[in-house]
Amino acid sequence: MTRAFKTLTYTPSVRAAQARYGSREATKPVDPAEAGRDVLGAPVREFIAAQDHFFMASVGENGWPYVQHRGGPPGFLQCLDDHTLGFADFAGNRQYISAGNIAHDDRTMLFLIDYANRRRLKIWGRARIVHEEDDAALLARLEVPTYRARVERGLVIAIEAFDFNCPQHITPRFTRDEMAILSAHVT
Q: Which pLDDT score, from 0 to 100, does residue 132 have? A: 92
pLDDT given at position 36: 53
Identify whether residues 68 and 132 lie together within a single domain.
Answer: yes
Structural domain harbouring 105: 37-174
- My answer on whether 57 and 122 are in the same domain is yes
Residue 181 lies in a domain: no
**For residue 55, how far is the Cα from the chain centroid?**
7
Cα separation, 79 vs 8, whole angstroms:
21
Backbone φ/ψ region at 93: left (φ over 0), alpha (ψ -120 to 50), beta = alpha
pLDDT score for 1: 41
Residue 184 confidence (pLDDT): 85
Q: Which secondary-structure segment (H or E) carries 78?
A: strand 78-81
Which segments in the chain show pLDDT lower than 70? 1-3, 27-37, 187
Query: Quick one: which of 127, 113, 120, 117 has its CA closest to 158?
Result: 127
Same domain, 77 and 159: yes
Res 7: pLDDT? 79
What does the pLDDT read at residue 167?
81
pLDDT value of residue 109: 97
Q: Which of 70, 72, 58, 79 is nearest to 128 (CA)?
A: 58
The predicted pLDDT at position 180 comes to 86
Phi, then psi, of 128 in degrees rounded to 5: -140, 145
Does 44 lie in the same domain as 22? Answer: no
One domain, residues 94 and 31? no
**pLDDT tens profile 36-76:** 557 888 999 999 999 999 999 999 999 999 999 999 999 99
* Domain tally, the chain: 2
Say if residue 126 is in the same domain as residue 41: yes
Same structural domain, 32 and 42: no
Give the span between the Cα atoms of 166 and 32, in whole angstroms.
25
